[in-house]
Chains A and B, each alone.
Chain A
């Protein structure tokens, strides 16, 4: 029995020239040609806007289906629809992309400072503005040796570091969840921008090997594709414990998505389900994590930083401190708004905490314990724009990782259908005819443009703040003020209210 109205309505106006292009473009099968006109199956429409973008006559509009229910704040239409879906299928509801619920966005409740009179602002067009950032473990102090001539030599042995020309890196997105073209774009852009991408847990496709100095490879609970050459074909290794979109649960790539190529990079038989267990079955405590960190360091002869990625959960500060003490050189904190290729909706929408609060607490805890230098902090999960990057850095992040924003630059329209494998923009799919829609050269150009624009905006704000180097904003919460927040949140964020 059908209970729910469609979510969207596709309207095709009289200006349609019947070229049928939209029918080809709609990977969700929502459009067909019947009785000499384009007909829409509203139920199937994902609002991905592929058809509207490609219709040469601008004949297509996609609207919300005008189904008005009796107002009910508690029993919203979303809730009703979920209940009907479950009543039909008896299954948990799967979804893609990130949490879309109206939880507070603390980035939008924080404002940055600027200089007036008593200290001058700096013009970024005239003066150097430095964004260079190094990720990795730092010693708490340095030692030097000075010879008779007064020449100085560093005697402290430095741990391996990753050099970034911008404090923005690309978040882990696995081959399988996204297409090879997406990874090629991320890698190409990372090389051009002087930053890094992260292969996610799906192994390292051979096509990426030429970018190895700009790649972080992951070691996740499924251990896909891991061998010595994998571990040594990268700038750094990341142990993935958790992900902001689905803390505490594993992953499941269904057999039909495990194509020949994916089976090769993941080193599993093609057509079989690729299962990432919820925990790493060799990590049941912090000591076990330490062993894995050092096993990976041994395997790479201590030449590569080893990071750990955790989801932002309630006790994140104490967990982060344990992770750093276990020997991680970098720690990625992934907030509850982070994206995903597929996750149960109940987890995506209800588990974890905002990255802003998690980041503030982790930075403060590590400082209080005097171990902040022992690991770089990378914040991710819902970073949308350069302003978010600046605020994250002022709260204490060394760098931020972006996933969704990078995909949006390639064409993602956030239709949240990633889990279907039908992504019309060639991003979250393994279908060759869809993948080829995403042009690698153009994608690199767009992503490089976007980050360059962010870099310019970051420099503009640094100049207004009167500093010419990103490290002078890093952790400088004095330059942030909160609006529309109560004292408890201000305290957790370690910032003052606006006006004080």
Chain B
């Protein structure tokens, strides 16, 4: 069950995202009906969701969703968690008991507080969390943390996305931002952790495509201590964002541009400042360029961003209805849950589209 991929993951997919920029919550069944429309783009070997704003009463604690192969490894991970943090609450993730999905692992969630004294010198709190996640995911055989942000959660498993949603009883959750993923893997064994979204801290990524530059993207990340063990593009994208945004502190637009930068001939035509910035960006972050077909939806507490590769080899449609922004592989999914959007468009290749949470007064 916990046999991870040994060869590169190859899959086609469907992605959807819905966000209310005013922070009004939406029930989980809405996104479920949207992704269910694209049933044909998945093959039942992976579905998943990310939801933001779902744990308001625990919003100051890191919410870890962990899958375990057996009680033994669960015990050792729990001991490790207790040693490195304070476990505020620990409970089974609610599931629909009557439903059975193949290879279901033990699914547990923990709300955790990080005491200052546990953080090693030179580490930020987030660095510390990342190191705990990396450690558990690479060193504890049979345990996998699939969600590690605050006031958000990832739910995923083996099955069509609509089945995964029912299994996790997502209609009972309310979130202002949802993303969903249906998967069509061609070569990975049925492993729950291999489903998407993939997340780290409060970042979650759903992705459709195959990145032809995977080899160098992975080696580049390894230079900065990231261990890519899942052999999936999504993992690489999440770590890349973590590196560019959190560790290198790049402005958001710049970080996204590094993933799908303009062509040299466009850069050559830019005005002096921009040309200088873009030239340096390509020189320094050439190994971060995601080359090959992709459309992704990147979500975090404050935003939802949609983007395709620079020559748009995979589809992405964006729509808006008042304060709600929709992004999807196919327009049909949007129309299913929003009959008459105010506007619908396809962004340019490599151009990020943002939905941002308004600061609450």
The interface of chain A, by Cβ under 8 A from chain B, is: 115, 118-120, 122, 127-128, 130, 132, 134, 138-144, 146, 151-154, 156, 158, 161, 367, 370, 372-373, 465-469, 471-479, 500
- Closest B residue, CB atoms, query A154: B277
Name which of B186, B209, B215, B284 has the most chain A CB atoms within 10 A of its CB: B215
8 sampled A-B residue pairs with Cβ under 8 A: A119-B210, A119-B211, A130-B264, A142-B285, A146-B251, A373-B284, A475-B287, A478-B8
Query: Known: A118-B12, A119-B293, A122-B311. Contact between A144 and B277, CB under 8 A?
Result: yes
Contact with B276, one of A140, A154, A475, A478 (Cβ below 8 angstroms): A154
Minimum distance in angstroms from A475 CB to a CB of chain B: 5
- Closest A residue, CB atoms, query B281: A142
State in angstroms the CA–CA spacing of A134 and B278 once bound together.
13
Whether A478 and B214, one on each chain, are in contact in the complex, defined by CB atoms closer than 8 angstroms, is yes
Residues on the A chain within 8 Å of B287, using CB: 471, 474-475
Minimum distance in angstroms from B55 CB to a CB of chain A: 33
Whether B212 and A466, one on each chain, are in contact in the complex, defined by CB atoms closer than 8 angstroms, is yes
Residues on the A chain within 8 Å of B11, using CB: 118
Query: Known: A119-B209, A467-B213, A476-B216. Contact between A367 and B283, CB under 8 A?
Result: no
Whether A472 and B209, one on each chain, are in contact in the complex, defined by CB atoms closer than 8 angstroms, is no
State in angstroms the CA–CA spacing of A154 and B258 once bound together.
14
The interface of chain B, by Cβ under 8 A from chain A, is: 7-8, 10-12, 186, 209-216, 218-220, 222-224, 247-251, 253-254, 263-265, 273-274, 276-277, 280-287, 289, 291-293, 310-311, 313
Whether B215 and A479, one on each chain, are in contact in the complex, defined by CB atoms closer than 8 angstroms, is yes
Whether B215 and A467, one on each chain, are in contact in the complex, defined by CB atoms closer than 8 angstroms, is no
Name which of B11, B214, B250, B277 has the most chain A CB atoms within 10 A of its CB: B277
- Closest B residue, CB atoms, query A157: B280
Name which of A466, A467, A472 has the most chain B CB atoms within 10 A of its CB: A472
Residues on the B chain within 8 Å of A471, using CB: 216, 282, 286-287, 289
Whether A152 and B274, one on each chain, are in contact in the complex, defined by CB atoms closer than 8 angstroms, is yes
Residues on the B chain within 8 Å of A132, using CB: 264
- Closest A residue, CB atoms, query B268: A132
Question: Which secondary structure dominates where chain A touches chain B?
Answer: loop
Query: Known: A132-B264, A472-B213, A478-B8. Contact between A142 and B248, CB under 8 A?
Result: yes
Whether A144 and B250, one on each chain, are in contact in the complex, defined by CB atoms closer than 8 angstroms, is yes
Contact with A152, one of B216, B220, B223, B254 (Cβ below 8 angstroms): B254
Whether A367 and B292, one on each chain, are in contact in the complex, defined by CB atoms closer than 8 angstroms, is no
State in angstroms the CA–CA spacing of A153 and B222 once bound together.
29
Whether A153 and B273, one on each chain, are in contact in the complex, defined by CB atoms closer than 8 angstroms, is yes
Query: Known: A146-B251, A152-B277, A474-B286. Contact between A466 and B215, CB under 8 A?
Result: no
Query: Known: A115-B212, A473-B216, A478-B215. Contact between A142 and B293, CB under 8 A?
Result: no
Minimum distance in angstroms from B49 CB to a CB of chain A: 24
Minimum distance in angstroms from A221 CB to a CB of chain B: 32
State in angstroms the CA–CA spacing of A140 and B273 once bound together.
21
Minimum distance in angstroms from B112 CB to a CB of chain A: 30
Whether A120 and B216, one on each chain, are in contact in the complex, defined by CB atoms closer than 8 angstroms, is no
Minimum distance in angstroms from A150 CB to a CB of chain B: 8
Whether B223 and A466, one on each chain, are in contact in the complex, defined by CB atoms closer than 8 angstroms, is no
- Closest A residue, CB atoms, query B209: A119
Minimum distance in angstroms from B6 CB to a CB of chain A: 9
- Closest A residue, CB atoms, query B283: A134
- Closest B residue, CB atoms, query A151: B273
Whether A465 and B212, one on each chain, are in contact in the complex, defined by CB atoms closer than 8 angstroms, is yes
**Top 3 closest pairs, chain A to chain B, by CB:** A478-B215, A471-B286, A476-B215
Given contacts A140-B284, A158-B283, 15 further A-B contacts (CB under 8 A): A118-B186, A118-B210, A119-B212, A119-B293, A120-B313, A128-B265, A141-B248, A144-B277, A151-B273, A152-B253, A156-B280, A468-B311, A473-B213, A475-B287, A478-B215
- Closest B residue, CB atoms, query A371: B223
State in angstroms the CA–CA spacing of A473 and B7 once bound together.
19
Residues on the A chain within 8 Å of B213, using CB: 467, 472-473, 476
State in angstroms the CA–CA spacing of A266 and B11 once bound together.
62
Residues on the B chain within 8 Å of A134, using CB: 283
Contact with B219, one of A115, A152, A477 (Cβ below 8 angstroms): A477
Contact with A469, one of B215, B222, B224, B291 (Cβ below 8 angstroms): B291
- Closest A residue, CB atoms, query B224: A370
State in angstroms the CA–CA spacing of A117 and B223 once bound together.
31
- Closest A residue, CB atoms, query B267: A132
State in angstroms the CA–CA spacing of A18 and B327 once bound together.
82
Whether A466 and B273, one on each chain, are in contact in the complex, defined by CB atoms closer than 8 angstroms, is no
Name which of A138, A372, A469 has the most chain B CB atoms within 10 A of its CB: A469
Minimum distance in angstroms from A490 CB to a CB of chain B: 15
Whether A144 and B251, one on each chain, are in contact in the complex, defined by CB atoms closer than 8 angstroms, is yes
Contact with A158, one of B7, B222, B280 (Cβ below 8 angstroms): B280
Residues on the A chain within 8 Å of B286, using CB: 469, 471-472, 474
Residues on the B chain within 8 Å of A144, using CB: 250-251, 254, 277
State in angstroms the CA–CA spacing of A467 and B248 once bound together.
26
Minimum distance in angstroms from B76 CB to a CB of chain A: 30
Whether B222 and A467, one on each chain, are in contact in the complex, defined by CB atoms closer than 8 angstroms, is no
Query: Known: A153-B277, A154-B280, A476-B213. Contact between A469 and B289, CB under 8 A?
Result: yes
State in angstroms the CA–CA spacing of A144 and B274 once bound together.
11
Residues on the A chain within 8 Å of B216, using CB: 471-476, 478
Minimum distance in angstroms from B218 CB to a CB of chain A: 7
State in angstroms the CA–CA spacing of A227 and B68 once bound together.
69
Residues on the A chain within 8 Å of B7, using CB: 500
Residues on the A chain within 8 Å of B254, using CB: 142, 144, 152
Minimum distance in angstroms from B275 CB to a CB of chain A: 10
Whether B292 and A119, one on each chain, are in contact in the complex, defined by CB atoms closer than 8 angstroms, is yes
Contact with A467, one of B8, B212, B253, B264 (Cβ below 8 angstroms): B212
Name which of A141, A370, A479 has the most chain B CB atoms within 10 A of its CB: A141
Residues on the B chain within 8 Å of A138, using CB: 283-284
State in angstroms the CA–CA spacing of A370 and B219 once bound together.
11
State in angstroms the CA–CA spacing of A256 and B8 once bound together.
61
- Closest A residue, CB atoms, query B216: A476
Minimum distance in angstroms from B257 CB to a CB of chain A: 9
Residues on the B chain within 8 Å of A477, using CB: 215, 219
Whether B284 and A141, one on each chain, are in contact in the complex, defined by CB atoms closer than 8 angstroms, is yes
